[in-house]
Structure 1
Amino acid sequence: MDFTNINIVEILTIVICLVIAIVGHEIAHGLAAYKFGDMAAKNQNRLSINPIRHIDMFGTIIIPAALYLTSGFVLGWAKPVPVNLTTVMRNGGHKGAIIVALAGIAYNFILAAFAFFVLKFLNFGFAEAKFIYTFLAINLFLGLFNLYPIPPLDGSKALEYALRSFRLSSMANLITSLEKYGFIILVVILISPFKEQFFAPITYIFKLLRSML
């Protein structure tokens, strides 16, 4: 890696967009749980928009920086907000649990849609347009990536609760049993020869997006 070619402005742009995307993602989970009577996130002040309360040194800074510097690929996460599923299930049932699981994804998609319409219908200079596109891309990617039904991604949680709502407990328990291996599974997929196939749906959506701008 030639560190003399590092673009500081580009790095700062990615950091700002990533923090907004992943911190808001976690707050959305907490707010959804709060709507179902769960005070866990609120009591620990995790509904605050102060990013310091949500930043995970490893997942928010070290991993994204290392990935960007070595491959140009950016992926990160914030500290998960505490969620008391017993309370959520009592007040909202499996539907409530699914809403909480998908709240972060919905947040990312809303921001991506907003950025798309701003970029599509308003005129900006090159620097501003590049920032907005980066903001759009990061939120869209995080939303799509989290839809994959692989622990610990949100899609796996939503699928688990959906299966339980249909009384398919054995399949739901299988997903739960994979949670402790989730990070390993993701790493194996990301370094496997099938990485391109894994990301094919996301790649297709990004190609479609670029054709629409």
Structure 2
Amino acid sequence: MEFINAITHKLTSLDIAEILVLIACLIVSIVGHEIAHGWVAYKFGDSTAKNLNRLSPNPLRHIDIFGTIIVPAAMYLAGGVVLGWAKPVPVRMQTVFNNGKYVGAIAVALAGIAYNLALAAAAFIAIKALIYSGSLSDSQSSQTLINSLFMLLKLNILLALFNLYPLPQLDGYKALAYVLDWAGASALTAKMMELERYGFIILIIIVMSPFSSSIFSPIYATIRYVSGLI
């Protein structure tokens, strides 16, 4: 009930323009995250996503209404971590591995995180530039612009750091598995891959648990720190 109340309170304080901005930020952030995986895989010789036109910037080819908009918007409005997804971009990891070995596999796993960090950095720089240029005013358009950039900044820090956690289904977990396999811990990697089939259930339990605020406190601390730099 507290989760629903938090969302209801936030929605009542938002206008239509802010809701549209939130949806746009989610699409750019989550869809771009998935495309990044496919693009890096393509650089390592896997043309699967490209052949299926899944490297297209057209969001309609990637959006999962529930996972790209509804779930992450609800979690963002509730003030928690953002769990969201687009339609998975197909990647043939064996092809990537054949061409790039472990470096290629790790690069593909971390590509979405790198994209979100780059987007967060771009939003941060844009905010600083607008403030120091003195081009902002008290007009509604100026406030909408700065609020949109802040939303993009916070959302992409959330997505990047959340996905970096070594939890099943997340990019950090996949990257860790490749690193361990590279280091010779093949048996541990195999167990991690087996555990990943239950990853979504494990992830939901952790996110909804009363310990989630402590587990993900580094994310909130980072957002507060970055916001304080502006």
Partner of 1:23: 31
Distance 1:89 1:80, change over 3 A: same
Partner of 2:110: 102
Partner of 1:180: 197
Partner of 2:208: 191
Alpha carbons 2:46, 2:96 under 8 Å: kept:
yes
Which digits, 9 at most, give the CA deviation of each residue in 1:82-133, with x for residues without a partner?
A: 0001100000001100000001110110110111111113233222110111
Distance 1:122 1:140, change over 3 A: same
Partner of 1:35: 43
Is 1:51 equivalent to 2:95 in the alignment? no
Structure 2 residue runs without a partner (length 5+): 1-7, 137-141
Partner of 2:5: none
Q: How many angstroms apart in 2 are the aligned matches of 1:61 and 1:46?
A: 19
Partner of 1:80: helix, strand, or coil? Answer: coil
Partner of 2:18: 10
Is 1:90 equivalent to 2:107 in the alignment? no
Distance 1:6 1:121, change over 3 A: closer
The TM-score, its normalising length taken from structure 1, stands at 0.93
Partner of 1:79: 87
Partner of 1:146: 163
Partner of 1:122: helix, strand, or coil? Answer: helix
Instruction: Supply the AA of the counterpart residue of 1:196.
Output: S
Which digits, 9 at most, give the CA deviation of each residue in 1:136-188, with x for residues without a partner?
A: 11111101110001110100110011111111112211221111111111111
Distance 1:201 1:54, change over 3 A: same
Q: How many angstroms apart in 2 are the aligned matches of 1:196 and 1:185?
A: 16
Q: How many angstroms apart in 1 are the aligned matches of 2:32 and 2:176?
A: 22
Partner of 1:160: 177
Once superposed, what is the RMSD of the aligned Cα atoms?
A: 1.7
Partner of 2:146: 129
Q: How many angstroms apart in 2 are the aligned matches of 1:95 and 1:65?
A: 34
CA-CA distance at 1:75 after TM superposition: 3.4
Q: How many angstroms apart in 2 are the aligned matches of 1:92 and 1:23?
A: 24
The TM-score, its normalising length taken from structure 2, stands at 0.87
**Which stretch shows the higher mean deviation, 171-180 or 87-96?**
171-180
Identity of aligned residues (%): 53
CA-CA distance at 1:66 after TM superposition: 4.2
Distance 1:68 1:209, change over 3 A: closer
Instruction: Supply the AA of the counterpart residue of 2:164.
Output: L
